[in-house]
Structure 1
Amino acid sequence: MRPVADPPDRSSDNPGDHAGAIEIDGRSLSRADLDAAAAALAERIAGAPAVAVRATASLETVVAVLAGLVAGVPVVPLPPDAGPRERDHILGDSGATLLLDPDPDPDPEHGAARWNGVAAEIVRIDVDARSSARFAVPPPDAIALILYTSGTTGAPKGVLVPHTAIAADVDALADAWAWTSEDVLVHGLPLFHVHGLVLGVLGALRTGSRLVHTGRPTPTRYAQAAAEAGGTLFFGVPTVWGRIAEDPDSARALAGARLLVSGSAPLPVPVFERLAELTGHRPVERYGMTETLITVSTRADGERVPGTVGVPVAGVATRLVDDHGRPVPHDGTSVGELQVSGRTLSDGYLNRPDADSASFTADGWFRTGDVATIAPDGTHRIVGRASTDLIKSGGYRIGAGEVEGALLAHPGVREAAVIGAPHADLGQEVVAYVVADAGVEAAELTDFVAGTLSVHKRPRRVVLMTELPRNAMGKVQKTLLG
């Protein structure tokens, strides 16, 4: 297997010199210097059971992650703003014995960090160090990353992502998006999630495309990267794209791009349409999870329909099942739980056989916990989470995403989140939380939805809010509603 971060036009025996291969917030490294800096750090960490990286948006993070891949040491990305409790859990649970830090502040006496009673050495990441050392290519099934993901309950779980899954996923997306070394990738995403790290860094390294990371993902910085760096491929989350859609000058600056990709949360239809109007590009949407990487995507050469996420990428299969595990028809309207199988799946959870058992079926399919519809042509529409977005009301199965889409079609609605709330007679009632312009009334929105969808899908309650609770990736936190 070709090493995860090696582009297709060079072997590991010929590093080459892709000048300006990585630029982050104005600082850059050529590909040759990046490889040499990673090799120098790999010499220091080789043999460790795992290394944690304080994953700031920096060249240091890229060097550290590449060093782990080269040395065959699992890398544990640590959110740079993690609080003490989250940090201590991740570091203690992962078994990392080294903490790689761009700007370390170690114990002045011992030069070590201590968490959960275990001391670990802090290692400074030096992007100016150089080495020509070579390392054996890790086995394909070796663990490359341990990514921590939070569920609705309990502490975050470590997801074991092997080298082969990353390679398969990036290659599949390169095929879907016609992504090559000729592209210039632009984004400003965090470097401790699948979107920003696996796609946004390792994807660029493997395809050989130049990466320009904007630091902060502001409309002005995206526009500047388009003008100055010749950006062709832009990644963003809906929050980023929404802000760009509200800044016509910045949006129009992206007209020369080749592809705009949105992910990590559903892209509101009005934002999709506004981007298409201003940039001339209909965004590509894709779907995935930490446990599966990116499994479904609109293709660059395919139809881009707002509210849909395309078809399974190469090497991935999907299916829908009902509450009893029976197949749900792919008719574009029937809702079921989405299950995934294929080469991009993780190896499960670190030291959590209980979570593995709950998440994987007996025949090896991953239970995403998301509900979806699949059209006869294979196009997927994600309705939402089964736990919060599949509403069972009066014998009907209602997808929250469909109702949210109907609300967002109202010209006065800016944001909407729909949940099912307990109801003595119906089991659950449809409740909508809406951010709307002044003068928009709740009853007006209820009637508006009833005029576009089946009457049983109308919100029985509409709660007007000034903003919806969101996490760092822009996803609405529905557990905080109600």
Structure 2
Amino acid sequence: MKPAIPCNGPEVAALLTRALDPAQEFVDGGTTLGSVHGMAAWLRRQFADDLERQTLCLATDNRDLIAAALLSSLAGGPIVLLPYSFSAQALSGLHQATGCRHALVDPEQPPPPGMEPIRPLGEGGGTAAPLPAIYPDEELLRLYTGGTTGAPQLWSKTGTNLFGEALFLAAHFAVSSSDRIVATISPAHIYGLLYSVLLPLVSGASVVPGIPSFPEEIVRCVRERKATVLVSVPPHYRVLRGKGCLGDALRLAFSSAGMLDVTDNNAFSLANRCGIVEIYGSTETGGIALRNRSCGERGFTPYSTIDWQIHNQRLQIRSPYLSPSLPLDAAGGYLANDWVEADGATAFQLRGRTDSVIKVGGKRVDLEEVKAAIKYMQGVSDCLVLALPDRGSREHRIVALVEGPFVEIEDIRTLLMTRFEPYALPGAIKTIDRLPVTDNGKVDREAVLKLFMP
């Protein structure tokens, strides 16, 4: 592979030195860019006397505070810790695992146990105060994700990883100060962080406050605020079906954090003047590729900043957005956890995850194949197929949770028996009105596990 196109270090550095209109709104109808930079400078000064670089837990989903913390970290301030949940248990676990002594919190919000609260609101004075020299290649952020196994995982990100990707997105999609962003996903998720904090920060766009999640909330927010950009997830696009046009101002819609159903995509595209841009990537890799099926794109086209090839049916990439925590080969390449197939010379199609294949009784079962068979039954909106540890055994038991309350479980079993060997059949099948999901649009694994507990 050729080397990936590097991020422009001076361009990242210019974030703290470029001419800035302090009156430009970062939060629509609220905090200005000047105030964000002022808070960042104030926050940087709080840690100026520390001989060793500290860490700062983000116990808030306020985008202006998060933006200030990231700018401060970019300037050599504390490394930002982003928990996978704001629950007391998750924050307490983060403190115990990292020894973090400070937490950025909202006014009047109690700090997490064992941490000293930092509340910079109002300290910026609305002035874009100067920040010291920045360090784009130093560690900026540590993200804690829930992980598919339920065990938290830690991923590091540098300033170049995060701000470099945001700069690419701003240029590629021509996002500017005339744009207004509505995001239905928390900025505590890497996708929400990139598109509703970093993207407006580097482009001058404003982000609408709050995180609407119910369909009526989303529709009202986009229409009333005359949003030009919608940042959402597949479960939210599903509930928007039948809600009509979201407004003539909307020109971009993004989807990530899971595969978007083609029916949901088509319904949205027919009702609105823009299609949905699907983003393929992960917390650890950053964004990798995109597609817009309303433009006839079947496959995903990698970002121009990424070098890629298909190796043994898997995607191998070299990217400036890869977490330093990832295991790379000698040439700096990373082998992604998905089976792919070339779609012409410039794109690829996803064919399932490598970790979806398990062994039952020594025989291979592809959970994605079982899921696909169920999902395309009449009356099924979505489904989840998992392999759960079987108590008292080293084997796994396969279970299926089906979104389709009027589908008969026996009909599902009958279909699967015609397609798969007995060892590949789910031992337990349950139907539900809606798959349980977290605020970030991911399947709520804990809630799913409770449904199958004996």
TM over 0.5: yes
Is the 8 Å Cα contact of residues 275 and 293 (structure 2) preserved in structure 1? Answer: no
Matched, 1:415 2:382: yes
How many Å separate the matches in 2 of 1:58 and 1:393?
Answer: 46
Picking from 384, 393, 411, the partner of 1:443 is 411
Which residue of 2 is the match for residue 253 of structure 1?
Answer: 246
Which residue of 1 is the match for residue 39 of structure 2?
Answer: 37
How many Å separate the matches in 2 of 1:406 and 1:282?
Answer: 27
1:341-356 superposed matches below 5 A = 341-348=318-325
Which residue of 2 is the match for residue 382 of structure 1?
Answer: 350
C-alpha displacement of 1:283: 1.3
Which residue of 1 is the match for residue 220 of structure 2?
Answer: 224
Which residue of 1 is the match for residue 116 of structure 2?
Answer: 121
Q: Deviations over 1:163-201 (max 9, x none)?
A: 111133123323443433432221132121211112221
Structure 2: runs of 5 or more not aligned: 1-8, 390-394
Is the 8 Å Cα contact of residues 83 and 145 (structure 2) preserved in structure 1? Answer: no
Which residue of 1 is the match for residue 258 of structure 2?
Answer: 265
Structure 1: runs of 5 or more not aligned: 107-111, 322-326, 329-335, 349-355
C-alpha displacement of 1:234: 0.7
TM-score normalized by the length of structure 1: 0.76
Which residue of 1 is the match for residue 290 of structure 2?
Answer: 297
**Partner secondary structure for residue 381 of structure 2:** strand
Is the alpha carbon distance of 1:177 and 1:430 closer, same or farther for their aligned partners in structure 2, counting shifts above 3 Å?
Answer: farther
Matched, 1:67 2:75: no
Matched, 1:160 2:164: no
How many Å separate the matches in 2 of 1:201 and 1:226?
Answer: 18
Picking from 342, 347, 360, the partner of 2:328 is 360
Is the alpha carbon distance of 1:430 and 1:456 closer, same or farther for their aligned partners in structure 2, counting shifts above 3 Å?
Answer: farther
**Partner secondary structure for residue 135 of structure 1:** coil
Is the alpha carbon distance of 1:210 and 1:6 closer, same or farther for their aligned partners in structure 2, counting shifts above 3 Å?
Answer: farther
The number of residues matched between the two structures is: 430
2:319 aligned partner, one-letter code: G
Is the 8 Å Cα contact of residues 12 and 136 (structure 2) preserved in structure 1? Answer: no
Is the alpha carbon distance of 1:446 and 1:185 closer, same or farther for their aligned partners in structure 2, counting shifts above 3 Å?
Answer: farther
Which residue of 2 is the match for residue 212 of structure 1?
Answer: 208
Is the 8 Å Cα contact of residues 316 and 343 (structure 1) preserved in structure 2? Answer: yes
Is the 8 Å Cα contact of residues 283 and 304 (structure 1) preserved in structure 2? Answer: no
Which residue of 2 is the match for residue 17 of structure 1?
Answer: 22
Is the alpha carbon distance of 1:412 and 1:361 closer, same or farther for their aligned partners in structure 2, counting shifts above 3 Å?
Answer: same
C-alpha displacement of 1:145: 1.0
C-alpha displacement of 1:39: 2.1
Is the 8 Å Cα contact of residues 416 and 425 (structure 2) preserved in structure 1? Answer: no
C-alpha displacement of 1:141: 0.8
2:441 aligned partner, one-letter code: G
RMSD: 3.8
Is the 8 Å Cα contact of residues 57 and 100 (structure 2) preserved in structure 1? Answer: yes
C-alpha displacement of 1:43: 2.0
1:258 aligned partner, one-letter code: R
Is the 8 Å Cα contact of residues 55 and 77 (structure 1) preserved in structure 2? Answer: no
C-alpha displacement of 1:162: 0.5
2:116 aligned partner, one-letter code: E
C-alpha displacement of 1:277: 2.7
Picking from 188, 199, 206, the partner of 2:195 is 199
Which residue of 2 is the match for residue 109 of structure 1?
Answer: none
Which residue of 2 is the match for residue 315 of structure 1?
Answer: 305
How many Å separate the matches in 2 of 1:414 and 1:280?
Answer: 25
**Partner secondary structure for residue 19 of structure 1:** coil
Matched, 1:103 2:80: no
1:146-185 superposed matches below 5 A = 146-152=142-148, 155-185=151-181
Is the 8 Å Cα contact of residues 56 and 79 (structure 1) preserved in structure 2? Answer: no
Identical-pair percentage: 22
Is the 8 Å Cα contact of residues 165 and 287 (structure 2) preserved in structure 1? Answer: yes
Is the alpha carbon distance of 1:410 and 1:274 closer, same or farther for their aligned partners in structure 2, counting shifts above 3 Å?
Answer: farther
